[in-house]
Structure 1
Amino acid sequence: MFLKIVKNDFIRNKISTISVLLFITMAVILATSAVNNVTTLIQSMAKLEERAVPADIAQMHTGEFDQAEIDRFTLQYRDHIAMQETMILQNVDGSNIHFSQNQTLAGTIQDISFVVQNRKFDFILNLDNEKLDVKEGFVAVPIYFMEQHDLKIGDTITVKSGGYEKEFVISDYARDFEMNSSLTSSKRFVINHNDFHEMFVIGPGEMEYLIEFKLNKNGDADTVQTAYIEAGLPANGPSIRGKMFLLFNAMSDIAVAMVIILISILLLIIAFLCIRLTFLASIDEDLREIGVMKAMGISKEDIKKVYLNKYRAISLIAGIIGYLLSLATVNLLNGNIKLYISSDLSGSLNYLLSLIAPLLVYFIIVMYCKRVLKRIDKISAVEALRRDSIEHGKNGKHHFPLIKNKFFSINIYMGLVDVWKRFKLYRLLFVIFIVCTFIVILPVNIFNTMTSPEFSTYMGIGKQDMRIDLRRTDRITEDFIKLQQELENDNDIEKFATYVTSSYPVKNEEGSWNYMNIEIGDFSAFPLNYLEGRGPEREGEISLSFANAAKDGLNKQVGDEVTVRVGGREQSLTVTGIYQDITNGGKTAKANANLGVNEKAVLWYIVSMDMVDGVNIPAKMDYYQNAYSTAQVNDIKEYTQQTLGNIINQMGTVVIGGIAIAIIIAVLITALFLRMLLSKDISQIAIMRSVGLTLKQINHQYMAGTMMVLVVGIILGVVIANLLGEFLVSMAMSSMGAAKIEFVHIVWQTWLLCPLALITTVGWTIFMSCKVAVKDDLSVVLRS
């Protein structure tokens, strides 16, 4: 009997049943994909970490050092330290690495190093997550450069520097747990021991050292790092904790997963509204049948089961179909994981855990259906037989005389009046249009913000036309002085400012010392947007990044003091401002130039500049890149793209998916709503037709009302996406160093293109739904 009821109901309401089935299926697909994505990310990161055995503390160092001192320190803190390894990195400028048809890696913001595989831990892996074993004459290329320059296995790269020239064949792609992400500023090419020795002897690049510690299970990283600094051991470079490597690797996939989860939650909310509309339409259509069943003595629970069983079946079928389709859809979301973290995503656990999503959707829908069906309890047999439909709330007395209408045609005016009088009914559709607009606009705003030059302010960089980075080389100081002299005489440069970043010992909240990267220079030339306060303008002033000022950092506020050790003596600096920075683990600082450069721990020099109006910026960039081959010359947009390219690409996919999902939802819900509305108004429509109104005039009434709801919903949706979206994104980014994101709005996209796409598709749906629904035979309707 149950199957017969479901079958007959499906035959009678094919369109609405298929629409609800498709909608619930789509909700299940997204929810399942989100769960699968997060589960796969967690599993893959655990497997990669297990195979790569990354360091818990990694200290970069440039300059001479004594390995024996490191060994004695390791023995002294054996209770905390399980293993120690020092990796030698031969830094090679990108302009000295040639590939394809005389192309080079010049212009990359990444520091390029050639290394050999470690012996104890911090292993660099291939795409099968196996330790790389590179043969002589071959090289393993980081995945980052494989993607950036479409390098393929079997291609060759040539290293040319001074008297050294060597051609390497690409044998593998290097999956590097510590330096995979574009957010880390270094990349490691893996070569054979013999090739490395040959390169070391001839010396095409500067030596740098990665001093790494793997801690025991109960080892304390703070204790080891503090002791390391107080012992005066080599620390001419940044220091990174193991948890930061984990964050860098997962950041892009976490960002995508968070957006998908948000969309999934919105879809569940819309699912409730969708089912509500469908139930109301079905109950209105079957009102007399419900009255007959109640008059016959059938219990209200049995009557509700007739409707509930149908949606149980639909939810079950949608859950199965959605789960199966998600197995294909999830590949679109897991592409980045498959490339950067693990090529083998065949584990069964993520598929088992993904079953949580369809099961949860099923139970939520069933529980909501039971709540909506409580309306049947309020229907008496007598009233059901006398009335045509359920009264949805009490209608107040609204008077809208036609004589006062001076702006619209009669049909449009009547449609708008209908919305006002029955807004409680229309508000469901209104909320859906707001949510659909939110789903479209939020990813678009995130994407536009991340690709805008203004995003540099969240990377601790002022807005500028061009940026020149000088990294550690033998002639870095000489090049820096020469570059400043040339810029002063370049009439195409409107203004420029120089900045030097060094590593300084800074006293933390516990009174011990940590190393921190501090940039000194004139920060009034290219100012940042500060969350609080201002930049350092005078001697004795410093500004901190949001992550550095937070409780798990230095725990400072504007006006507090920070103790920095410079030249062997301590200086107290006043915190004048707090800014946002997602680079270098989010923990950076900026101080007035009077602080003085820590010459022994200089990390890099940066020159920021603005051009005179009309200057060809790309041509100027080419000139300085050729004049200073070891420099990295970029405009700020290219710098952002190289740093966040992976996240930007994935967010682009989310934008396309969000637009497609929102349009499908809006079309389905609009069709369902109009079906319910026109079914409810069948008698009223018949009366209008009997007094002489044409189908076209009736169409215009319903189209005018629904289009007004759509337009107002879109406007509010855009506003909410701009305001609430900034709040949600800021919450998500606060852990990464950016606590207050302000969207960059491209007006023609957010206020014209995206709304126009929704208006066009939904408008067509409104037109077609109204056109079909009012063509029933008038005599049949009046007789019923």
Structure 2
Amino acid sequence: MNLKYALNDLRRNPGVNLALLLVLVLSSFLMATGAMVLERTVGAVNALFTVAQPPHFLQMHRGDYDPDALERFAAEHPEIDAWLIEEMVGYDSAALTWSRPGTGESGEFSESLIDNLFVTQNAEFDFLLDEAGEIVQPAVGEIYVPVAFQQRFALKAGDELYIQTEEGAQTLTIAGFVRDSQMASSLSSATRFVVADADFATLRADGGIPEIIVEYRLEDASQANAFQTAYERDESLPKNGQAVTGDMIRMINAISDGLVAVALMFASLLLIAIALLNVRFVIRGTLYDEVRQIGAMKAIGLPNRTISGLYLSKYAVMTATAAVGGGVLAIFATQALTRGIQSNYAAAPVTAATVLAPVLAIVGVVAIVLGIARGVLRAINRIQVVSALVHGSTLDERRTARRAKRLARSVRRSAFTGLRGGNINRRLALIDLRAERGQWVLLPLVFLLAAVLMTLPTNLLTTFQSPKFVTYMGAPEADLRIDLQFTAEAARIHGELSPALAADDRLTSVREYANELAEVKGTEGWESLRIEVGDYSGSGIEYLHGERPETGEIALSVLNADEYGVGAGDALTLRRGGETVTLTVSGIYQDVTSGGRTAKLQGEPVGVVTGYVYFATVAAGEDAAALAAEYDKRFPAAAAVPMREYVQQTLSYVTDAFASAAMITLVFALGVVALITSLFLGLRLSRERRRAGALSALGFSGAELSWQLRFKAGVTIVLGGVVGVLVAASLGELFVGAAISASGLGIASLQFIPNPLLVYVVYPLLLIAVGMLAATAVAARLRRNDTSAWLRA
């Protein structure tokens, strides 16, 4: 009986039920897709890690080192399962070009800002894999190129790669493309090319910059942080480069695609909220319309539970259908969204989690919807037989009387006796909105949620794309960045580069900082700490707590402050140049570079200087890219890049993820508001047939009734859209900031850098326009129908 009633009701109100079904399908679709993308991302990264076996701890180093010290250290630490020294040769991107035999196509890699490291295949672990997941073994004259370069420059197997060395161009044939478990993300500062031993020896001898990675696999991966502390405490070990743990590698690899999944699931939660609002509205409207039938069922002795079951069966059928439809669509969407994941990492194996993740997500959606539906249907318990059959009311006699008195007062307050001209249609519409505000509240709430759904991903995208985002990267706003890192001639080149920058009248300001390797007193002894030393007066760096460092003070990144348990005003003990000093922590800033663990010290360097970084502002009319190219050519050992390009390339994986999420949520938000507006106004029109008939009999034309409906819709739509944008900019910022903080990127408090024209003008106007188009389409029925006949209905 329940099923038969549900199917009959679905057929009786196809428009209303179809609109509600579509919202439920979208909710299930987004939640299932987000869960599947997240599971596929984690699965792909795990599959790559299983075969590639990345290190649990690694230390990059440029310069001389003592192999015996590494041997001794390994012998002293039984927790080491395996270790190796990977030799690498670095070449600047400007030295790399390619061509395609037979077609004449060619290109260069000069626009890439990351380090290009040529390596041979490792023998024990940290393998580089081809597209089939096999360990690559290039022959002499062959090279395997990173997948990221394949995607960015449209390379193909068989293309020729030219490396400009001191002895001329060395030509290698691209045999395939490698997945790198260690350096796949754009957040990594380098990428690896795999060549044969003979070609590697040639590249090293012909001018390539030598570098090593000391890598360790541990018996227990959870000991990585303690192992890092032990490594950095040993002064004889190489440390002239970035240190990275396995957890950091995993997070960097998964975060970009994981953000897409999180954004989709967040969008699904908003759609579920919209669906629940509509379920509540539709159920309450159904009870109101069918109150006499409910009263009759109660009069013949049907219990409340049976009557509720009749209505709940409809939403159970609808929600189950939506869950199945959304789940099927999610399968195809996930395949499209995870193509990049499979290219960069590996094909994730199908496991129990592959099935359970979307199923549990969909079951959650179904449980929430049916739970709310069951709660709303409890109103049946309060319906009295006499009140339902005689008055057609869902309220008892006492509540019916109170409501009648309230409506009577409302009518007296809104009498037209005081009307002095003006638009009577607008006055009628406003009176109706005030009298029925409890029923009209659905529309502004839906538009509020839709505005949040549209705005948040876009605000995240523009924030990460903004040139001001460098303040979240521990750097001041500038046009040009020059890095002089990890070279034995750093001191000499610094002596030439600094005067050249100071004398260049095309630069209005130049700030330089030395990268010093110091030690900090941690909980388990002395640990290595990389600090940028220089003059921070007027540097433009924003501080989360406190302020810039003065003499005798140091500023710490968020992650370093958390690790050492200090805040602004606390003392921190350092060891620099063999001397122990106690400094005051002046402030805490946010940084996503170098694993989020940096520090800034006012003064001059006194310890081991590993390099320098310069920030320059160019004069009006000058081209930062041209200046960067010029300084790159004059000082080959230094890397000069326009700051905007540096931010874009470093965060390209993250911004690509936000761009995808922003586009998906924009389309869905607009589609949902069109559906809900049509659904809501259609139901209001059906419920107000007698009112419209009465107004028609009094002389109001169909056009005037249509205008009244559009006006009421416009007021609620504009209100919801504007409030939604404000909520997204305030509460949304707090929510997203907390989520980003929990990700461990090094950002503790995110402030949106929105595109004001887009999110405060274009988006609200687009939302309002779609809503008004839907309202106009529904209101057109009042023009076409004989509304006076509705008075007799």
Task: Please give the TM-score of this superposition, normalised by the length of structure 2.
Answer: 0.93
1:228 aligns with 2:231: yes
**Structure 1 position 727, deviation (Å):** 0.9
Match of 1:717 in 2: 724
Q: Partners in 2 of 1:108 and 1:562 — Cα distance?
A: 39
Match of 2:773 in 1: 764
* 2:511–2:615 contact (8 Å) kept in structure 1: yes
Give a deviation string over 1:335-390, Cα, whole Å, max 9, x none.
33222222345556313331112222222222222211222233333333334565
Match of 1:562 in 2: 572
**Structure 1 position 190, deviation (Å):** 1.0
**Which of these residues, 290, 310, 314, is aligned with residue 310 of structure 1?**
314
**Structure 1 position 29, deviation (Å):** 0.4
* 2:710–2:776 contact (8 Å) kept in structure 1: yes
Q: Partners in 1 of 2:604 and 2:75 — Cα distance?
A: 40
**Structure 1 position 778, deviation (Å):** 4.6
* 2:691–2:791 contact (8 Å) kept in structure 1: no
Once the two structures are superposed, the pairs formed by residues 330-349 of structure 1 within 5 Å of their partners are 330-344=334-348, 346-347=350-351, 349=353
Q: Partners in 1 of 2:227 and 2:768 — Cα distance?
A: 61
Once the two structures are superposed, the pairs formed by residues 73-88 of structure 1 within 5 Å of their partners are 73-78=73-78, 80-88=79-87
**Structure 1 position 402, deviation (Å):** 4.2
* 2:233–2:528 contact (8 Å) kept in structure 1: no
Match of 1:739 in 2: 748
1:523 aligns with 2:536: yes
Match of 1:676 in 2: 683
**Structure 1 position 41, deviation (Å):** 2.2
**Structure 1 position 164, deviation (Å):** 4.7
Match of 2:102 in 1: none
1:171 aligns with 2:184: no
Q: Partners in 2 of 1:408 and 1:588 — Cα distance?
A: 66
Match of 2:380 in 1: 376
Once the two structures are superposed, the pairs formed by residues 641-656 of structure 1 within 5 Å of their partners are 641-656=648-663
Match of 1:594 in 2: 604
Give a deviation string over 1:247-273, Cα, whole Å, max 9, x none.
111111232222222212122211111
Once the two structures are superposed, the pairs formed by residues 344-493 of structure 1 within 5 Å of their partners are 344=348, 346-347=350-351, 349-387=353-391, 390=394, 394=403, 395=406, 397-398=409-410, 399-402=413-416, 409-473=423-487, 475-493=489-507
Give the unaligned 5+ runs of structure 1. none
**Structure 1 position 691, deviation (Å):** 0.8
Q: Partners in 1 of 2:32 and 2:512 — Cα distance?
A: 50
* 1:93–1:630 contact (8 Å) kept in structure 2: no
Q: Partners in 1 of 2:507 and 2:220 — Cα distance?
A: 55
Match of 2:612 in 1: 605
Secondary structure at 1:366 match in 2: helix
Give a deviation string over 1:533-589, Cα, whole Å, max 9, x none.
112232x22110011101xx1111112222222222222222111100011111111
Match of 1:573 in 2: 583
Q: Which stretch shows the higher mean deviation, 524-533 or 83-92?
A: 524-533
Secondary structure at 1:415 match in 2: helix
1:214 aligns with 2:223: no
* 1:238–1:516 contact (8 Å) kept in structure 2: no
1:752 aligns with 2:758: no
Q: Which stretch shows the higher mean deviation, 290-299 or 573-582?
A: 290-299
Give a deviation string over 1:757-784, Cα, whole Å, max 9, x none.
1111110111111222675545653334
1:195 aligns with 2:203: no
Q: Which stretch shows the higher mean deviation, 770-779 or 742-751?
A: 770-779
1:274 aligns with 2:311: no
**Structure 1 position 112, deviation (Å):** 1.6
* 1:496–1:525 contact (8 Å) kept in structure 2: no
Give a deviation string over 1:592-644, Cα, whole Å, max 9, x none.
23243513xx0x42221112223233333333333334433322221111001
* 2:43–2:348 contact (8 Å) kept in structure 1: no
1:737 aligned partner, one-letter code: G
Give a deviation string over 1:476-500, Cα, whole Å, max 9, x none.
4443332222222222211111122
1:317–1:172 distance in 2 versus 1, CA, 3 Å: same
Q: Partners in 1 of 2:759 and 2:217 — Cα distance?
A: 49
Once the two structures are superposed, the pairs formed by residues 10-159 of structure 1 within 5 Å of their partners are 10-78=10-78, 80-100=79-99, 103-159=107-163
**Which of these residues, 591, 604, 624, is aligned with residue 631 of structure 2?**
624
Q: Partners in 2 of 1:73 and 1:371 — Cα distance?
A: 65
Task: Please give the TM-score of this superposition, normalised by the length of structure 1.
Answer: 0.94
2:532 aligned partner, one-letter code: E
Give a deviation string over 1:1-40, Cα, whole Å, max 9, x none.
5554334323321111111111111111001011112222
The RMSD of aligned alpha carbons is 2.3
Match of 1:542 in 2: 554
1:729–1:7 distance in 2 versus 1, CA, 3 Å: closer
Q: Which stretch shows the higher mean deviation, 282-291 or 98-107?
A: 98-107
1:702 aligns with 2:705: no
Q: Partners in 2 of 1:775 and 1:385 — Cα distance?
A: 34
Q: Partners in 1 of 2:714 and 2:678 — Cα distance?
A: 13
* 1:685–1:774 contact (8 Å) kept in structure 2: no
* 1:277–1:676 contact (8 Å) kept in structure 2: no
2:136 aligned partner, one-letter code: L
Give a deviation string over 1:259-301, Cα, whole Å, max 9, x none.
2222121222111111112223323332333333333443333
1:707–1:154 distance in 2 versus 1, CA, 3 Å: same
Q: Partners in 2 of 1:593 and 1:779 — Cα distance?
A: 86
Q: Partners in 1 of 2:680 and 2:420 — Cα distance?
A: 30
Q: Partners in 1 of 2:391 and 2:677 — Cα distance?
A: 26
2:660 aligned partner, one-letter code: T
1:118–1:690 distance in 2 versus 1, CA, 3 Å: same
* 2:696–2:788 contact (8 Å) kept in structure 1: no
1:542 aligned partner, one-letter code: I
* 2:25–2:326 contact (8 Å) kept in structure 1: yes
1:49 aligned partner, one-letter code: F
1:432 aligned partner, one-letter code: V
Q: Partners in 1 of 2:131 and 2:651 — Cα distance?
A: 22
1:541–1:104 distance in 2 versus 1, CA, 3 Å: farther
* 1:285–1:389 contact (8 Å) kept in structure 2: no
Q: Partners in 2 of 1:329 and 1:219 — Cα distance?
A: 35
Q: Partners in 2 of 1:563 and 1:170 — Cα distance?
A: 51
Percent of aligned positions with the same letter in both sequences? 29
Corresponding pairs, count: 775
* 1:545–1:737 contact (8 Å) kept in structure 2: yes
